A = this chain, B = another copy of it.
Amino acid sequence: MNHFTHHISQQPAVRDHRFAGHHILSVSQFDRDALAYVFTVAEEYRQAGREISVQRPLLGYILANLFYEPSTRTSSSFLAAMERLGGSVIPINEVRYSSVSKGESLPDTIRTLEAYADVIVLRHYEKGSAALAAQYARKPVINAGDGAGEHPTQALLDLFTILQERGQIDGLTITMLGDLKYGRTVHSLAQLAALFDVKINYVAPETLRMPGELIPQIRVPQSEHTDLEAVLAETDVLYVTRIQKERFTDEAAYASVKDSYVITPETLSRAKADMVLMHPFPRVGEISIEVDTDPRAAYFRQIEYGMYVRMALLAMVLGQA
């Protein structure tokens, strides 16, 4: 055990059995001790590199990677995570091709797949579908995003990224920028970050503000802004989100805010030298590509960190970490 997570938990990161055989549905299942354990395992896998693939701790285990909604990034991340640990994958990306087109219910699909697989990763367009699946499943279900609901593994990898980039989380000022109304990733991240001594700034256009009902649930100092400049200088972590066109019903409303918050090298010139710039990806212009070579641009490293976090989660729910 390394000391990578000593800032997160006073406990030495000992094997945490609470996730073996259990579902991962929500960030609310995690406290600082649980995070410390996830991140310790993830860091071990990162350091092991290809060696862990040779050890194959998940040999003989099968993941059903069930995506009702397209997401190459997330599905590939879980697929690679499982394969790197020596496990196998049933990839189901094509809902049009599945029995769903014959009218099958989600519970029936879940109970079918758990006959073949040992763990199910579920991305679904409907809020609450992961909980519904978990209600019927005898095998662990991992929520990979359920519509406007949660995306807990994204929040975990976001926090892991901050820890990797800054060495600790306590004491940081985190600014979230963009679509804070529809963006489930920022909702999940804000809830999880609130386990730490952080300050959170929300910067969004009026129509895309953080939902009012969420703010009281997040028990850390928070402030809302419409202009990044107000908080840029104090920001330690700038978390930029996509303005998701598919969330709008109105083309004009989309166009009006689309370019409001674009990060350029010029923006970064007014930011802290050790600021961490993150984005859940894909981006469609919110961060200009000129920024990519700036050492503060952490979003490609963030993608790789995500794979290690998902490796840890898969191994944990299967009782192998």
Contact = CB atoms under 8 A, between A and B. Distances in A.
Contacts of A246: 102
A314 interface: no
B70 A59 contact: no
B80 A117 contact: yes
A99 B71 contact: yes
Interface in A148-203: none
Main DSSP-derived SS at the A contact region: helix
A93 interface: yes
A288 to B, nearest CB: 12
A84 interface: yes
A79 B54 CA distance: 20
A284 interface: yes
B76 A282 contact: no
A73 B289 contact: no
Interface in A95-147: 96-105, 107-109, 111-113, 115-117
A92 interface: yes
Given A80-B90, A116-B76, A111 B282 contact: no
Contacts of A62: 80, 83-84
A79 B51 CA distance: 22
Most chain B beta-carbon contacts within 10 A, residue among A61, A71, A80:
A80
Contacts of A88: 80, 83-84
A297 to B, nearest CB: 11
Contacts of A248: none
Interface stretch (A8-16, A205-213, A218-226, A300-308): A300-308
Contacts of A51: 60
A76 B303 contact: no
A50 interface: yes
Most chain B beta-carbon contacts within 10 A, residue among A72, A83, A100, A242:
A72
Contacts of A242: 102
Contacts of A52: 60
A102 B282 contact: yes
Given A84-B60, A303-B112, A72 B50 contact: no
A77 B307 contact: no
Contact of A97 (B72, B104, B281, B283): B72
A91 B304 CA distance: 18
Given A76-B92, A76-B116, A94-B97, 9 more contacts: A67-B97, A70-B97, A72-B97, A72-B98, A72-B100, A76-B112, A79-B90, A84-B88, A102-B282
Q: Which 9 A-B pairs have the closest CB atoms?
A: A53-B60, A80-B116, A115-B304, A70-B97, A72-B98, A83-B88, A104-B282, A115-B303, A99-B282
